[in-house]
Amino acid sequence: MSILRKLFICLALSLVVANAHPAAAQSFKWWQMERFQKGLTLTQEQIDRIEAIFQTAEPSLRAQKGALDKAEHRLSKVITDSKSDEAAVLQAAERVEAARAELSRTRTLQLFRMRRVLSDEQNLKMKEMHEHDRRNRDRDRDRSKPKGDLSDGICK
């Protein structure tokens, strides 16, 4: 298999993974939900501080997401252009990955700052709540699979 074909397959898979989390999930304001406010016993000051962190980061996140989308679009054009060579594809792919890394760094820093607003006990409870939610999603996903589905390699 040619390098270009392998790169295209990797790109396609990375786009599927990247789009597995819709934009709505990325802007999920958990600190405004009653379940988290009560479960974590958030104070109004904590809610306000977390909202301020979100509002501060949001313009950068939106701009970086736009830059990533543009870079991915350019890469798609380069891949489909019969005149493109491997160097052009690799250069466009590197731009995509750089844009993705910048977006990831900003998001990680935002989450880190939000986490620092919470006490150790609240962070532990948050982790438990997220694990509970993950288990429920996994259970719901498993229930929705038809019997005999081989997508996970095991027949049920």
Model pTM?
0.70
Q: Which amino acid is at 95?
A: R
The tens digit of pLDDT for each residue in 33-69 reads: 999 999 999 999 999 999 999 999 999 999 999 999 9
In a domain, 150, yes or no: no
Q: Compute the distance between CA of residue 51 and CA of residue 99 in angstroms, rounded to an integer.
A: 25
Q: Give me the domain span that covers residue 19.
A: 3-142
Tokens 């962070």 belong to which residue?
123
Work out how many domains the chain is built from and give that number: 1
> What does the buried/exposed string (b/e) look like for 91-102 if buried means 16 or more CB atoms within 10 Å of the residue's CB?
ebbebbeebbee
CATH of the domain at 60: 1.20.120.1490
pLDDT computed for residue 146 by the predictor: 77
At 79-125, the pLDDT tens digits run: 999 999 999 999 999 999 999 999 999 999 999 999 999 999 999 99
Which pLDDT band, with edges at 50, 70 and 90, does 23 fall under? very low
